[in-house]
Amino acid sequence: MSRDKFQVSNASLMIENIVTGIVCGRPTPLQIPLGVTLSHKSLIEDFSVLGVTCTYDEVHLFKGSAAASASSDPSPNGSADDGLIQTTADNFDEEIASAND
């Protein structure tokens, strides 16, 4: 048996991610950021049907949750009291329409 068959590729990781999402019945840690990255409702929904991303509603909920979490913590670096630092960020100005566009 050749070792090449066990090499990890981006395609195999994507397939594993899709299967995991279907089996578990909830978005995987890769599906949410992919949905956030796409940022257009039609693209998110198209890829969601294929199992590549989560749904647009889940992306919307995640963005709201991340914004609430970021605004409720006065420290921009999170809290290190428990030895764990967790932060969230969103490029909110990416979706702002201005007269200069």
Structure tokens at 94: 């990416």
Spell out the domain ranges in the chain: 3-76
Type and span of the H or E element at 36: helix 31-38
Structure tokens at 27: 């978005």
39: left (phi over 0), alpha (psi -120 to 50) or beta: left
pLDDT tens string, the chain, 101 residues long: the values are 455 666 778 888 888 888 888 888 888 888 888 888 988 899 999 998 988 888 999 998 888 888 877 777 555 555 555 566 666 666 554 554 445 44
Given this model, what pLDDT does residue 98 score?
47
DSSP output for 16-29: HHHHHHHHHTS--T
